[in-house]
Homo-oligomer: A and B are copies of this chain.
């Protein structure tokens, strides 16, 4: 039924995360039947974003400028560096608006299965940042998965070996805010019990 530019568009959109051919077709139809120039506008915004995206040389964040706005922000210091797996995690923490230090994007986690070793991650640039002596704490904000935690261990060892003055911390484990105990796994409940806090 479809051909030429429509089929090409459906194919490209269905390759995006979370979308399949059916949802891509629905999106293309929506765009085609929209009044006005929705499609032109989307094309222009995509082009604009593609042209302006840059990777920050300091932390690895994506922004329209290099260094990124977080590294340039005079109110944020290198005193505390939050290490994240990827830019999505950086944005997730940034959305909370509670962290006022700077970030370091690793670009992934160690994974024997996917053949990702320490040299594939941005570990050396992190150590070099720490060696400048401006940083007193590194928060390892990595996922609580096996790969995330083994990456955190390797990083913690590497940091205490090379820059022992830097304190290494990790995110707290416990009951998610709004979470019901009944639906939580045993590991989370026992960790939350062990790390209980005074009210």
Interface residues of A (CB under 8 A from B): 1-6, 8-9, 12-13, 16-19, 23, 25-33, 37-50, 52-53, 62, 64, 69, 86-88, 90-91, 94-95
Secondary structure class of chain A's binding surface, majority of residues: helix
Beyond A29-B91, A33-B87, whether A39 also contacts B43 by CB under 8 A is no
B29 engages A88 (CB within 8 Å): yes
Q: Considering the chains assembled together, what is the distance between the CA atoms of A143 and B45 in angstroms?
A: 36
Bound-state Cα–Cα, A9 to B5, Å: 21
Residues of B within 8 A of A91 (CB): 1-2, 25, 29
| Contact present for A62 and B46 (CB under 8 Å) | no
Q: How many copies does the complex hold?
A: 2
Partner of A32, one of B13, B18, B49: B49
Q: How far is the CB of A64 from chain B (nearest CB, A)?
A: 5
Smallest CB separation, A25 vs chain B (Å): 7
Given contacts A1-B94, A5-B64, A64-B6, contact A87 B29 (CB under 8 A): yes
Q: Is the CB of B44 within 8 A of A43?
A: yes
| B9, B31, B50, B64: the one within 8 Å of A37 (CB) | B50
| Cβ–Cβ < 8 Å partners of A46 in chain B | 9, 31, 39-40, 42-43, 46
Chain B residues whose C-beta falls within 8 Å of the C-beta of A44 in the assembled complex: 43
Q: In whole Å, how far is A65's beta carbon from the nearest beta carbon of chain B?
A: 10
